[in-house]
Structure 1
């Protein structure tokens, strides 16, 4: 399973191009399976008037051995808010998928990296038709 969501740094971000792109990715991702080993929760951190990410790039966050799930956070640069580059966003998701592998390996949990990357490829095909 791969979940996609966002933390918005201000109310003005509702309906912006980045908001629409992230929602579109979530819909294009398709149905998810619950309780699958090696699950990812990918969260975009979008800068706004109230809050800005305190990091850059992609980082690992909360890991649950019980749920076999890892949260990864992607800091969205300011220039991506009003005019998001869909390819940049997809590349950031791919980076997150690859960054997760060592965490699952150390925990001895099966990690379906190829399946996650296939989902990203499918999102790209659906979005860039």
Structure 2
């Protein structure tokens, strides 16, 4: 069953729990990843459109989960939001952390797509993820 829509196959979002230096550094890294996704998704469509939203822990909006979790799904647009909790504390490479979480989000979206009989795999999104991993 082909439910391909005109929505982007993959999009990136962020929820910041604070406006401190660490949160702003995460915001810049997430924004850069989002810009790369916009370029790489051009001309690609998917039967399930994924919005990966990174949650950066903070005082005003602390994370209440670890890892990734499935969020809202719109059957009308075949659009799934998956939330990814950025781990607290210092990290050596923010991009590596974001790519790992994004990979988990894509795996979760594929599991969701199989359970809902939307698609067996999300080839276009996997291709975008693979392209992101080779960028520096």
For the residue of structure 2 that corresponds to 1:16, the secondary structure is helix
**1:1-129 equivalences in 2 (<5 Å):** 1-12=9-20, 16-29=24-37, 30=39, 31=41, 36-80=46-90, 84-110=93-119, 112-126=121-135, 128=136
Q: Matched residues in 2 for 1:32 and 1:13: separation?
A: 33
Q: Matched residues in 2 for 1:120 and 1:2: separation?
A: 9
CA gap 1:59/1:32 in 2 versus in 1, 3 angstroms: farther
- The alpha-carbon deviation at position 12 of structure 1 amounts to 2.8
Q: Matched residues in 2 for 1:77 and 1:56: separation?
A: 7
Which consecutive unaligned segments of at least 5 residues does structure 1 have? none
Structure number with the higher helix fraction is 1
CA contact (8 A) 1:38 1:111 kept: no
TM-score when normalising by structure 2: 0.79
Q: Matched residues in 2 for 1:52 and 1:110: separation?
A: 34
CA contact (8 A) 1:65 1:107 kept: no
Runs of 4+ in structure 1 deviating by more than 6 angstroms, as ranges, are: none
- The alpha-carbon deviation at position 4 of structure 1 amounts to 0.4
- The alpha-carbon deviation at position 117 of structure 1 amounts to 1.9
